[in-house]
Structure 1
Amino acid sequence: MHTRSRLPLRLLLACAFASCLVALGCASNTGGSSYISRTSTVTAYRLNVRADPSINAPVLDVISRGQSVDVLSRRYNWIKIRTPNHHVGWSYGAFLSGFNIPKPESKAPEYKEAQPEKKESEEPKSEQPPVVL
């Protein structure tokens, strides 16, 4: 009888431990810098790989659309990757497959049609022929 009463307690502890492991595994993909073992594909035309997870960090490598990268970890919307050239750095996750991260809003430069410059010394040309007296 003594060993039978410990069985439910052991089972309960084992289930609680397994639940904690599952919860820790699920939480690791949200914002921490834990290890994620998988690959991803570049969806942008050209993707900068930076030294740190910041738009101001130096660019270590530039990779093209369709190339596969190894995903190492995640810090919020930035993904730490290993490139085909074996560089390790950070890229914004919106431009990698498998991440539900919105693309940043960018302000496109205004398009202005090119106009030839006018020289001040040029006189306006008239379309009528000159009058001869």
Structure 2
Amino acid sequence: MLSLTPWLDRLNALEGIPTVKLAADVEAAKSNVDLPNMMLVLGREIVSHGAMSNQSRHRVKTEVLLVTGIRRRNQPLGPVATAGDDELTRLRKPALNRLINWMPPGCDIQVKWQRGQLLALQGHALFWADVLTAEYWWPLEENSP
């Protein structure tokens, strides 16, 4: 199973973003009232079977969600806000740049960004989820007989 501790360490080394924490699931991430916030959630694992020799090996593709929450506020009518006014982009961009193409310990393919989507729009907050994937073989070769 993929450990998110190195992910936390990597993100929390960045300045200018809130301290990234772990959430047990998406509902826990959406219930965080400290805004802005960023939380990592371990998503689903997709398993495919590799070539079989003396034992079976499985390719595990793990989804990791980076959930970003920002406070909702009314925007004044008038000209469209510039990119510098977009708090969501300001928080997500350095975090995604730090993770995409990074090789986490125990993985053998760099982190890939799969998609981003609106997770929830509540009265007080907007929650956005970026879905990243990391891949590894299980069992690991060093553990093989």
Normalising by the smaller structure, the TM-score range is under 0.3
Structure with the bigger percentage of strand: 2
Q: Which has the larger radius of gyration?
A: 1
